[in-house]
Amino acid sequence: MIPERFKQITSAYPRLRVAVVGDFCLDRYLEIDPGLEEKSIETGLGVHNVVNVRSQPGAAGTVLSNLVALGLGEIWPIGFAGEDGEGFELVRELGRMRGVRMEAFVRTGLRRTFTYCKPLVMEKGGAPRELNRLDSKNWTKTPAEVDREIRRRVREVGEQIDAMIIMDQVDLAETGVLTKGVLSEVGELAQKKGKLLVLADSRRGLSGYPAVGMKMNRAELGMLLGRSAPEEIGAVRRAAVDLAVRTGRWVFVTLAERGLVGAGPGGEVEHLAAIPLRGPIDIVGAGDAVSANLAAALAAGGSLREAMELANAAASVVIHQVGTTGTASVAELEELMRPGLRG
């Protein structure tokens, strides 16, 4: 990518309006000082003493945080949080972010706030060591009242935006934000506004999704195809092209250390190798950084390869942020990509 294109694409970010629809959760980190280890008098079990607690939006919130880091003009989170302490923290953290519009975010007493509680042992001179997580999730069907409200807000916000990212993080279908009804609403919006970029990601696979852009990993590609995940990059390329041409939408497949494959509705296809590692890594949040950067770059007029170059760089920045779910700013992308930004 030449410097002029990098500047053209990223300078358009402050004018973009993007919605993030999906499962917003609270990432709560409990920092433990191992030097203060105790034993409970009552039970005899070890006691971890927490010396610091920090929280940040996770899941769809991580996608949103990456859009904020890129400096987008308006970002609309569409999802729900419970009327509980975790919901208070999540809404507070979302509302503090520059450019985030909270009018379409739902608070409801009918749901718990999705929470990942992550105990971290902070060992002096070493990377944080994560203990077993303590998660809070919803295991019942999303109430019809909440579902209708999410659908209404998708319709309303959909008239005002340049792109939409949808992100499904729940383990059990129909218990989160992206129910069949909400997906139907997104599909109708994508069909009505043919030029609207919609990019979807789901940990349970994208089978049954409407005709929207798709971002997935290799295993999820196999789930979508109904067969074993393709091993060879050539097979991934062929599958991505076939999906892109058939749906008329963008398709992206992340390949961990082997990089990223992308295909467009016109049959174009690219593969970019991963950027070499530069030290200890933490892969949490890398996929969300890829989603955010692909959507932002394409909405700003970037080509398939340009969007992939920016997403690849963002993933590299994020995985080197150990002990947190990181983000990548335009300045960080430029610094990392500088040797390849040739005039």
* pLDDT for residue 341: 63
Residues 6+ away with beta carbon under 8 Å from 253: 215, 216, 217, 218, 221, 236, 239, 240, 260, 261, 262
Could you give the count of Cα atoms lying within 13 Å of 334 in the half-sphere of its Cβ? 13
Print the domain residue range for 274.
3-39+47-340
- Displacement of CA 97 from its chain's centroid (Å): 16
Q: Report the alpha-carbon distance of residue 177 to residue 74 in Å, rounded.
A: 21
The answer to whether residues 169 and 116 touch, using CB atoms and an 8 Å cutoff, is no
- Displacement of CA 3 from its chain's centroid (Å): 27
Q: Report the alpha-carbon distance of residue 147 to residue 274 in Å, rounded.
A: 39
* pLDDT for residue 125: 84
Nearest CA-CA partner of 187 in 228, 155, 218, 219 = 155
DSSP bridge partners of 108: 82
Residues 6+ away with beta carbon under 8 Å from 287: 201, 215, 217, 254, 315
pLDDT at 170 over 70: yes
Q: β-strand 115-121 against 46-47: which pairing, if any? A: unpaired
Tokens read off for 266 = 């016109």
Sort 183 into a burial class: Cβ within 10 Å, 0-12 / 13-18 / 19+: buried
Nearest CA-CA partner of 236 in 220, 212, 248, 249 = 220
Q: Report the alpha-carbon distance of residue 103 to residue 124 in Å, rounded.
A: 43
Q: How far apart are the first and last CA of the chain?
A: 9
Instruction: Report pLDDT digits (tens) over 205-251.
Output: 999 999 999 999 999 999 998 888 888 999 999 999 999 999 999 99
Number of structural domains found in the chain? 1
The CATH number given to whatever domain includes residue 175 is: 3.40.1190.20
Instruction: Give the count of beta carbons closer than 10 Å to the beta carbon of residue 312.
Output: 24
DSSP SS3 for 103: coil
* pLDDT for residue 342: 52
Q: What is the largest CA-CA distance in the chain?
A: 68
Phi-psi region of 213 (alpha: psi -120 to 50; beta: other; left: phi over 0): beta
* pLDDT for residue 279: 77
What is the average pLDDT across 71-90?
A: 97
Instruction: Give the count of beta carbons closer than 10 Å to the beta carbon of residue 68.
Output: 20
Instruction: Report pLDDT digits (tens) over 48-77.
Output: 999 999 999 999 999 999 999 999 999 999
* pLDDT for residue 38: 94
Model pTM?
0.92
pLDDT level of residue 159 (50, 70, 90 thresholds): very high
pLDDT at 83 over 60: yes
pLDDT at 324 over 80: no
Q: Report the alpha-carbon distance of residue 186 to residue 184 in Å, rounded.
A: 5
pLDDT level of residue 340 (50, 70, 90 thresholds): low
* pLDDT for residue 343: 46
3-state SS string for 117-178: EEEEECCCCCCCEECCCEEECCCCCCCHHHHHHHHHHHHHHHCCCCEEEEEECCCCCCCCCC
DSSP SS3 for 322: coil
- Mean pLDDT, the chain, rounded, equals 93
* pLDDT for residue 2: 87
